[in-house]
Structure 1
Amino acid sequence: MTTESHPGLRERAAAALTAARARTAALTDPVTDQDLTAQHSPLMSPLVWDLAHIGNQEELWLLGRVAGRESLHPEINPLYDAFEHPRSERPKLPLLGPAEARRYAAEVRGRVFDLLERTPLEGSALLDDGFAFGMIAQHEQQHDETMLITHQLRRGEPVLTAPEPEAPYEAPLVAEVLVPGGPFTMGTSTEPWSLDNERPAHPRDTAPFWIDTVPVTNAAYEAFIADGGYREPRWWAAAGWRQIREHHIEAPLFWHREGPEDGQWLRRRFGVTEPVPGDEPVLHVSWYEADAYARWAGRRLPTETEWEKAARHDPATGRSTRYPWGDADPTPAHANLGQRHLRPARAGSYPAGASPLGVRQLIGDVWEWTASDFLPYPGFRAFPYREYSEVFFGPEHKVLRGGSFAVDPVACRGTFRNWDLPVRRQIFSGFRTARDV
């Protein structure tokens, strides 16, 4: 693809960058400078670090590698190298203050828009299809999701607002859907802004399997808790059992009981305490918790291959589509994405976003843990740098799929792969289960 054959490419890149920056402002403008510089959890960076890191990555890649310009402030580059300083140590660094970070990010963005206007979007792997600009838009949106997680961990009065989901809804639905066995195409070689771990497209084969129509709900998960799920080691992987015992975990993160042991479950959500809604997908559970629930239910987590087949394979045509509903970009009718809401929609929502087999909410609402380790596809090639994916490959990280309400559409598609440590709970993670035929 060239800019001549795709004249809207430059506009698409500009729109993606603009949308990301507007969201960054919405996450950083409502809080005080003290909140921006504080570390709200050792698991997360101060918000002001993310703000300047966004600008720094944009400068290094677009003004540096694409345009070949010298760094505006080379002395700060090491401060914002995510691999050089762990999150727990970043508050001790001589970081840019809130006003300085905003000025720096704005100066970089102004120069980037000048660059985008006159740079041919072809001729190199970084420029073809506007990849470098799309990569930076995705990077900023991913950090926006990270900052939203920090907001959830932050204590204090609510500062973020959003309307409640009012998606079309159908219930009751069948509990599970049969996915036929056979081959399908996994991954992509054609999605222009896909990242290296999504590539290349390659054939996979599965046996037939059943998969939940919707993600596991809070009400279903409460039944696991009520049945003593957190007190019974037989449901847990050994490392998971050690984790919940050591940290006294007895429910999803941010849940607590009202009153006595049999009292109502409440949750804290962006500064608001509310009853846990039974019909929403469960949120803030680790891989170990998802795996334990699945065992308790007599089921299992789907593999990453099974998840993608359920999400992309159209049995009628044999094609793998970009999304469960087809190849069209997501709209608000298809999925809960882009921080339009600050919670998942009810399980059973978004019938327009269903797969050809009728599986719901595979995109948006909650990231879904899979059974699979994060590993490269056959023919994987690191691009544009090893640290994006390759250094994380291995059994230490588990794959999540599908995105959440906190994910922007530019960073979410049927092939998109997320990964994290199996202990992680602060992320917007849920799951669905599967079983063999």
Structure 2
Amino acid sequence: MTDPALDAEALRERAVASLITARDRTTLLTACVEEPDLTAQHSPLMSPLVWDLAHIGNQEEQWLLRAVAGHEAIRPEIDGLYDAFEHPRAERPGLPLLPPQEARRYAAEVRGRALDVLEGAAFHGSRLTEAGFAFGMIAQHEQQHDETMLITHQLRRGPRVLTAPDPEPVPLFTGPSEVLVPGGPFTMGTSHEPWALDNERPAHRREVAPFRIDTTPVTNAAYQAFIEDGGYDEPRWWTADGWAHIRRGSLTAPLFWHRDGGQWLRRRFGVTEAVPPDEPVLHVCWYEADAYARWAGRRLPTEAEWEKAARHDPAGDRSTRYPWGDADPGPEHANLGQRHLRPAPAGSYPAGESPLGVRQLIGDVWEWTASDFLPYPGFRAFPYKEYSEVFFGPGHKVLRGGSFAVDPVACRGTFRNWDLPVRRQIFSGFRTARSEAV
């Protein structure tokens, strides 16, 4: 029988480590530029970096200090400024935001008090504190904003300020191009992962017909073939909304790509470089992913198909936490945590493949699916409707798997991301599927 005290101490250590890892990354992303870059809005799609910084602190104060510990508010007058639903991103530069040094001091003060709360926390008594959920939620929230800030860095014009080693080179992948996923039921979602968010719950059985799915994400070289074949000029590959969108925006290639003579180049974190052919394609919207799949005679996988390919272990008829099993991600499994500033070549991380042989389902690029973002049967919003419920419906498409910019704490086989089908500043790619004749 497990000692509850030992369980609590392990949870406390995990929560502390997750919060510290997130704050170290926030510091890196906000200390590498001067104050004008922190307060500027680098794209109307994104907040100024200084807004994210104080918003991180404000959410931590509201949930860990006020909701969990019952403390009085430190800065109640700023709650509205950092309410993501009260002020659209395009308006945030005009708000009376905390200046950088004050935002840093505020976030640091909140963190110091939150760690004091965590030191004496009891991980039971309410859904919010059970298994340290509130602490895990806040660590995930900060890491999600760290990914958002990394997107802002990619959109920012100017010299490179972030560096990281490239992924290890690997031989060109020569394995099978697709994998058969057998039909039948599997368990989708989770009811037991302690830090899983509301939209991942509850676990439920889902029936999936047999299908084939790409072994790796679609590469830049494969996507270039679509471009060279006139993919952006042929309306039959596009939905009506997609065709209208690319015509309106004069889109001819993924975001940050441009052609120089006969060569495709891209801008990546302040550096212009040749587009690497064997990397998964990045910065494409749902409409582009869907059009490529049609051009290739295939389709995007549904969300249920994606999760079955990622989690189903046919040997035990069970769903694992990750494609490789139940162990937490290690550097041998996936490209996560901003360890690199680019996807790894297609076919990397054989230790991270699923039991069926599908690779890179976790990390590298978020993968668009065919599915709208909808609740699971039995869904209950927790701890607030604005995390998931307000986004449900046909307006948002589901992305799965995480990217190189996602921290392991915010990435699981059940983790669900969503965005508008026009979005491509995000670290998004895709893989394709096809139905298996029966």
- TM-score bin, normalised by smaller chain: over 0.9
Aligned to 2:166: 164
SS at match of 2:320: coil
Residue correspondence of structure 1 range 23-422 to structure 2 within 5 A: 23-166=25-168, 171-259=173-261, 263-422=262-421
RMSD, aligned α-carbons: 1.0
Partners of 2:324 and 2:216 lie apart in 1 by 15
SS at match of 2:22: helix
Partners of 2:5 and 2:418 lie apart in 1 by 33
Partners of 2:171 and 2:13 lie apart in 1 by 34
Q: 1:167 to 1:3 in 2, by over 3 A?
A: farther
Partners of 1:5 and 1:313 lie apart in 2 by 28
Partners of 1:170 and 1:11 lie apart in 2 by 40
Instruction: Report the Cα offset of residue 5 of structure 1.
Output: 3.6
For residues 291-329 of structure 1, the C-alpha deviation after alignment (integer angstroms, 9 at most, x for no partner) is: 000000000000000000000000111010000000000
Partners of 1:371 and 1:164 lie apart in 2 by 31
SS at match of 2:81: helix
For residues 257-305 of structure 1, the C-alpha deviation after alignment (integer angstroms, 9 at most, x for no partner) is: 003xxx2000000000000000000000000000000000000000000
For residues 362-418 of structure 1, the C-alpha deviation after alignment (integer angstroms, 9 at most, x for no partner) is: 000000000000000000000000000000000000000000000000000000000
For residues 216-240 of structure 1, the C-alpha deviation after alignment (integer angstroms, 9 at most, x for no partner) is: 0000000000000000000001111
Q: 1:323 to 1:170 in 2, by over 3 A?
A: farther
Instruction: Report the Cα offset of residue 119 of structure 1.
Output: 1.6
- Assess if the C-alpha contact under 8 Å between 1:169 and 1:351 holds in 2: no
Unaligned runs of at least 5 residues, structure 1: none
Aligned to 1:429: 428
- Assess if the C-alpha contact under 8 Å between 2:172 and 2:278 holds in 1: no
Instruction: Report the Cα offset of residue 71 of structure 1.
Output: 1.0
User: How many residue pairs end up in the alignment?
Assistant: 434
Instruction: Report the Cα offset of residue 169 of structure 1.
Output: 5.2
- Assess if the C-alpha contact under 8 Å between 1:374 and 1:393 holds in 2: yes
Instruction: Report the Cα offset of residue 355 of structure 1.
Output: 0.3
Instruction: Report the Cα offset of residue 68 of structure 1.
Output: 1.1
**TM-score normalized by the length of structure 1:** 0.98
Instruction: Report the Cα offset of residue 167 of structure 1.
Output: 6.2
Partners of 2:398 and 2:67 lie apart in 1 by 30
2:347 alignment partner AA:
G
Instruction: Report the Cα offset of residue 171 of structure 1.
Output: 2.1
- Assess if the C-alpha contact under 8 Å between 1:3 and 1:129 holds in 2: no
Partners of 1:80 and 1:32 lie apart in 2 by 22
SS at match of 2:9: coil
For residues 120-170 of structure 1, the C-alpha deviation after alignment (integer angstroms, 9 at most, x for no partner) is: 111110000000000000000000000000000000000000000016556
Instruction: Report the Cα offset of residue 6 of structure 1.
Output: 4.3
Query: Post-superposition, which runs of at least 4 consecutive aligned residues in structure 1 deviate over 3 A?
Result: 1-6, 167-170
